[in-house]
Structure 1
Amino acid sequence: METQNLWPDFAVEPVKSPKDILKEQANHLIHKTNNVLSAEVETVDFPTREIVHTFSIIAPALSNYRYKLLAIEHGAFVYPVNISWANGNVEAKNQQQFIDILSNIFSEPETVRVISSLLAQSLTE
């Protein structure tokens, strides 16, 4: 005899995942650079219990050169999320903090220089 279903009803949190936010930003970069650059969000294997996604900027005209801008890491819960990039590592406790931190990373002089350089090189190819 089969037992009855013991699982409760599950509520899906109305929060956008960090991965979804990164994918949206990848699309914004494509539009912002008039399809000269693209970006990719990739889920990578990591030897911990964490879920890790990387965000890379891609220059198709330069043999698909990839620049890994940042990586994010979180557990079963989407927040808090740890963000790592060339200039640091920080934790976002919620969606708004994550968005604010991304905005700061995207606006950093080094990020702007990398994107400007990839754009310039791509346009001369």
Structure 2
Amino acid sequence: MVDYKQDLWPDEIKTTEIISPVTIIKEQGKILGRKTNNIVVGEVKTFNSSTKLIDFPFTYRFVLVCSSINYEYRLFDFAFPIEIYPIKIIPDTSIANELSLSPRNPEIKIDLEEEFIEILKKIFSAQKTVKIITTLLAQSQDIKDES
């Protein structure tokens, strides 16, 4: 008789130290919220698109959200395969221009976690990003002052 309860799985299967890009970006969205007293936060949304990102099974959009004025701004789309890398990012057009990406193909391909972190820093520090956040904060203050 066959012992079907015998462990047939290899010993290498265990929890991993790998951090998903979604986890990294969600944490950055929370950090933005803390910096802005939750007036502007970053949110990751599942994104189904006909863009070139669709060739990866995990496709998302990162948006800046200002609830007080009911506004969202797409900062970038990103996608990755089951193996996580390479990650593809397509930033907002203005940010792509700031990063000197080709207007015809503004896609960034990232092969390592360290590169991913550096690209996120560049996107978050872009003049367009900072301008959007400060403008949302100002407009939110206008709404607050009216009430």
TM-score normalised per structure 1:
0.88
Q: 1:109 to 1:49 in 2, by over 3 A?
A: closer
Q: 1:119 to 1:18 in 2, by over 3 A?
A: same
Q: AA paired with 1:111?
A: T
* 1:123 pairs with 2:141: yes
Aligned to 2:35: 32
Structure with greater contact order relative to length (CA < 8 Å, sep ≥ 6): 1
**Higher fraction of strand:** 1
Query: Following the alignment from structure 2 to structure 1, what is the Cα–Cα distance between the partners of residues 135 and 3?
Result: 63
Q: CA RMSD in A?
A: 1.8
Identity fraction in percent: 33
- 2:61 pairs, out of 39, 54, 65, with 54
Cα offset for 1:3? Answer: 6.9
Q: AA paired with 2:141?
A: L
* 1:8 pairs with 2:10: yes
Q: 1:72 to 1:2 in 2, by over 3 A?
A: farther
Query: Following the alignment from structure 1 to structure 2, what is the Cα–Cα distance between the partners of residues 97 and 124?
Result: 38
Once the two structures are superposed, the pairs formed by residues 85-100 of structure 1 within 5 Å of their partners are 85-86=91-92, 87=96, 88-100=106-118
Cα offset for 1:53? Answer: 1.5
Specify the structure having the higher radius of gyration (Cα). 2
Query: Following the alignment from structure 1 to structure 2, what is the Cα–Cα distance between the partners of residues 2 and 21?
Result: 45
- 1:104 pairs, out of 122, 134, 143, with 122
In the alignment, is the contact (CA less than 8 A) between 1:15 and 1:95 conserved in 2? no
Question: How many residue pairs are counted as aligned between the two chains?
Answer: 124
Deviates more, 1:19-28 or 1:44-53: 44-53
Cα offset for 1:49? Answer: 4.5
Cα offset for 1:68? Answer: 1.1
Query: Following the alignment from structure 1 to structure 2, what is the Cα–Cα distance between the partners of residues 44 and 13?
Result: 26
Cα offset for 1:113? Answer: 0.9
Q: 1:16 to 1:49 in 2, by over 3 A?
A: closer
Deviates more, 1:23-32 or 1:34-43: 34-43
Aligned to 2:103: none
